[in-house]
Structure 1
Amino acid sequence: MSKVIETVEQLVKPITEDLNLELVDVEYVKEGKNWFLRVYIDKETGVDIEECGIVSERLSEKLDETDPISYNYFLEVSSPGAERPLKKIRDYERAVGKRVHVKTYEPIDGEKTFEGTLLSFEKEELVIEYLIKTRKKQVTLPLEKVAKARLAVSFS
């Protein structure tokens, strides 16, 4: 699967760069009987349905030419949404001051899941302020211990 993702990233990057869009993520997953190739794109002001359609058309042509996937699949091109995944260094840097949801590979301070405000990201360490019962607490998480991270929707 990682070979498919790598190939798709190589095919879609020139398309997104040409349109001044950011390639956020590529997923290739099986759900039930169906395979899905999901490409997430974004830009500062957000992407619209037209931009998603253009990327989908151009990528579809490239995929037809190279045929890197042997199964039938559904191609979906969309915005990463409000709960955008944090994968690249730049993602973490842009998320400082925002609410994040982070899962770690192993417990840190007895916890594996943290949701709160990303106070800083320096030297590949995240400092998150979160609430435990009624107390605010801070935790420092090394990036290498982060299994998954995303922006979290705030309901305040």
Structure 2
Amino acid sequence: MSNRKVEAAVEAVAAPLAEARGLVLLDVEYQREGRRWFLRCVVDRPGGVTMDECAAFSEALDPVLEGVAGLDEDVVVEVMSPGLDRTLRNDREFAWFRGREVEVTTYRPVEGRRHFLGRLEGLEDGAVVVTDAEGSHRIPRDAVAKARLHVRI
């Protein structure tokens, strides 16, 4: 079974569990590193999530994962918060972090540039919308090389 199918199966059981705990499941990643398989679940809630909430969710998730086809029986499960400078990987994250400052780098020039720093307005018709001092920019999703939360220090 492909990693994507395993991630989708985990998401199907983990998202309702997260919701019941007042959390939002933002991302699921299943990948092999060396000889071990890792399952990483990123959860959040308005105001942020604590380490204790991540640990409690991980404990609740363990028995539910036993029924997921294709999941390695010795998988290492990691539940974490998105972090301050999270790289946005999926549409759910682009929606969840709407209103936050982001840094977007593109594969090719968009509007004559390859770097955008501004407020994330979300996704609209397959484009990441970012607003900065120069206005609103529609960056085609397939042109985005990397998008991450930006933290000013």
- TM-score grouping bracket, smaller chain normalisation: 0.7 to 0.9
| Alpha-carbon distance in 2 for matches of 1:46, 1:122 | 22
* Residue deviations 1:123-142 (CA, integer Å, cap 9, x gap): 34413538xxxxx7975312
Measured after TM superposition, the shift of residue 92 of structure 1 is 4.3
* Residue pairs, 1:1-156, within 5 angstroms: 1-66=3-68, 68-70=70-72, 72-86=74-88, 87-88=90-91, 91-92=94-95, 94-96=97-99, 98-109=100-111, 111-112=113-114, 114-118=115-119, 120-121=121-122, 123-124=124-125, 125=127, 126-129=129-132, 139-155=137-153
Q: Secondary structure at the match of 1:81?
A: coil
Measured after TM superposition, the shift of residue 65 of structure 1 is 3.6
Instruction: Provide the residue aligned with 1:133 in structure 2.
Output: none
The alpha-carbon distance between structure 1 residues 44 and 110, as it changes in their structure 2 partners (threshold 3 A), is same
- Which structure has the greater CA radius of gyration? 1
The alpha-carbon distance between structure 1 residues 61 and 99, as it changes in their structure 2 partners (threshold 3 A), is same
Runs (5+) with no aligned partner, structure 2: none
**Is contact 2:26–2:93 with CA below 8 Å preserved after alignment?**
no
136-145 or 9-18, which deviates more: 136-145
Aligned-residue identity in percent: 34
The alpha-carbon distance between structure 1 residues 147 and 92, as it changes in their structure 2 partners (threshold 3 A), is farther
The alpha-carbon distance between structure 1 residues 89 and 54, as it changes in their structure 2 partners (threshold 3 A), is closer
The alpha-carbon distance between structure 1 residues 90 and 56, as it changes in their structure 2 partners (threshold 3 A), is closer
| Alpha-carbon distance in 2 for matches of 1:91, 1:120 | 8
Runs (5+) with no aligned partner, structure 1: 131-135
RMSD across aligned positions (CA): 2.9
| Alpha-carbon distance in 2 for matches of 1:20, 1:72 | 28
TM-score normalised by the chain length of structure 1: 0.76
**Is contact 2:121–2:130 with CA below 8 Å preserved after alignment?**
yes
| Alpha-carbon distance in 1 for matches of 2:72, 2:96 | 37
| Alpha-carbon distance in 2 for matches of 1:27, 1:90 | 14
Letter in 1 for 2:18: T
* Residue deviations 1:8-44 (CA, integer Å, cap 9, x gap): 1011011111111111111112233332110000001
**Is contact 1:35–1:71 with CA below 8 Å preserved after alignment?**
no
